[in-house]
């Protein structure tokens, strides 16, 4: 969410940013916000003046009452008339004040509603384009290899190890769920444990957050469209299941004022994640690729504004380092303007190589949201000079094993059907170096 003063003073900049994001339908919001803001400020000013006038009239009646008691009979009528006029004016002011306060409430609600829909100002380095087809490959890490033997679909590989049961999950929970079993389940947990220790060794503080959050936190961390498309609400309660631990990790600081010497906050969190994943999906997004429940290791940073781009660079490179340590080729893909969620100023995906598809697919997403979440959640920092300012927030996937398992299995599958385990995972797999299929 943008600062209302910025919108008021730079409407053309805000409109141009909306055009760059190919969201022209939102252009009228800028003028609506400016109009509502002007009306709200006028109502606040008038209400303030009325309160001052009411106080003056009320104070004026005090001496008049004293004067009335001591006045001669012929003077009382004039004094009483003055008192009555003051009281009538106070009553009229009270009625107008009540109306103004109701107007302020309406203006504030309507203003907030529209402000939530206006996208954040994107960074000048973001490539322009209407959708993800315009995302730009920046760099590759590791050599993508297509072996001379067939790479089956990922659930077929898992089934050879008796490692997945989609049918049973369909009976208990419906589509979009899974049972992981045996070696595949152990590999899933090994990757999460390794990712946890990897991030701790990089200086991040490990955290297990709440898996449910209040609606005001949801509104603070994500755009309305994303909220409706992703979040599961607990019926009858002001609680939502988190779609990623970023939601509760950034929410941890809601309404707080941090001392500047507490920055940066660098946290890595484990959680299950729950997502509606609305819409039809193709064959490549079935199996365990796009699902309603999965587990993830996340990283978030809360930092000074001047440090956020350096942290952005560092964070996505940590994902690259993690995947390369597991011998999986990846690339960095810069997200274009039309593919950025409204709160983001800059974002990139880390994509893993799929030997079966002979292309890359997303396994991590790194985003800089500048001060948008901090403004929505009222997170402040008190500087050394005593003044407060809004910090910047960033998030990035460390690893999400169900999707990451696809890349892992495809890249480590051997011609005989076995799957090799990279050295970094040996301690987490009880020393196992090769998985042998049961079928």
Phi, psi torsion values for 341, nearest 5 degrees:
-60, 155
Half-sphere exposure of 216 (CA within 13 A, CB side): 10
- Quick one: pLDDT at residue 287? 78
Residue with tokens 């709200």: 40
Residues 161 and 439: their CA atoms lie apart, in Å, by 7
Task: Tell me the DSSP string of 137-177.
Answer: EEEEES-----SS----HHHHHHHTT-EEHHHHHHHT-TT-
Sequence spans of domains, the chain: 4-115, 132-435
pTM above 0.85, yes or no: yes
Q: Among residues 396, 199, 196, 201, which one has the least CA distance to residue 311?
A: 396
What CATH number is given for 132-435 in this structure? 3.30.930.10
Considering the domain 4-115, what is its CATH architecture? Orthogonal Bundle (1.10)
CA–CA distance, 406 with 410 (Å, rounded to integer) = 6
**Which residues of the chain, if any, have pLDDT below 70?**
54-93, 278-285
**Per-residue pLDDT at 431:** 96
C-alpha distances in Å from residue 61, one per residue of 67, 77, 87, 245: 10, 15, 8, 60
pLDDT score of 31: 97
Instruction: Yes or no: say if 396 and 298 are a contact pair by the CB < 8 Å rule.
Output: yes
Give the model's pLDDT for residue 145: 94
Q: Quick check: helix, strand or coil at residue 45?
A: helix
Q: Which residues contact 260 (CB under 8 A, 6 or more apart)?
A: 304, 381, 382, 383, 384
Please give the pLDDT value at position 71.
58
pLDDT in tens, 285-317: 577 888 899 999 999 999 999 999 999 999 999
pLDDT at 84: 60
Place of tokens 């190890």: 161
Name the pairing type of β-strands 265-274 and 205-207.
parallel
Q: Residue 404: which of 321, 318, 323 has the closest Cα? A: 323
Q: What is the pLDDT of residue 280?
A: 46
């Amino acid at each position: 969410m943008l600062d209302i003063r910025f919108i008021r003073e730079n409407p053309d900049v805000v409109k141009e940013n909306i055009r760059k994001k190919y969201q022209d339908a939102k252009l009228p919001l800028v003028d609506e916000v400016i109009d509502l803001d002007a009306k709200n400020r006028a109502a606040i000013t008038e209400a303030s003046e009325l309160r001052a006038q009411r106080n003056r009239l009320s104070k004026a009646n005090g001496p008049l009452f004293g004067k009335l008691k001591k006045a001669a009979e012929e003077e009382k009528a004039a004094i009483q008339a003055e008192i009555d006029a003051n009281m009538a004016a106070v009553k009229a002011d009270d009625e107008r004040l009540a109306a103004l306060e109701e107007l302020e409430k309406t203006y504030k609600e309507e203003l907030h509603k529209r402000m939530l829909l206006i996208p954040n100002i994107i960074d000048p380095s973001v490539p322009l384009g209407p959708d993800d087809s315009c995302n730009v490959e920046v760099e590759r890490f590791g050599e993508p290899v297509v072996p001379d033997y067939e790479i089956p679909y990922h659930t077929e590989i898992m089934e050879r190890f008796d490692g997945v049961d989609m049918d049973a999950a369909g009976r208990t929970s419906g589509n979009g769920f899974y049972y992981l079993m045996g070696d595949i389940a152990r590999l899933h947990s090994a990757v999460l444990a390794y990712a946890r220790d990897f991030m701790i060794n990089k200086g991040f503080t490990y955290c297990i957050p709440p898996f449910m959050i209040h609606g005001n936190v949801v509104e603070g961390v994500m755009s309305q469209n994303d909220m409706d498309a992703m979040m599961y609400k607990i019926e009858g309660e002001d609680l939502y299941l988190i779609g990623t631990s970023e939601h509760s990790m950034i929410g941890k600081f809601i309404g707080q004022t941090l001392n500047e010497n507490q920055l940066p906050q660098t946290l890595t969190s484990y959680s299950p994640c729950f997502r509606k994943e609305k819409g039809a999906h193709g064959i490549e997004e079935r199996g365990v690729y796009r699902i309603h429940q999965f587990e993830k290791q996340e990283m978030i940073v809360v930092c000074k504004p001047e440090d956020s781009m350096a942290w952005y660079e560092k964070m996505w490179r940590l994902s690259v380092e993690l995947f390369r340590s597991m011998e999986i080729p990846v690339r960095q893909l810069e997200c274009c303007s039309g593919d950025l969620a409204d709160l983001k100023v800059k974002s990139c995906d880390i994509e893993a190589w799929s030997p079966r598809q002979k292309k890359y697919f997303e396994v991590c997403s790194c985003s800089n949201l500048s001060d948008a979440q901090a403004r929505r959640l009222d997170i402040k920092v008190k500087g050394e000079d005593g003044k407060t300012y809004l910090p910047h927030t960033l998030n990035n996937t460390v690893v999400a094993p169900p999707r990451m398992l696809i890349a892992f299995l495809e890249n480590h599958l051997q011609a005989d059907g076995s799957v090799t385990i990279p050295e970094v995972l040996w301690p987490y797999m009880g020393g196992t170096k090769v998985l042998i299929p049961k079928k």
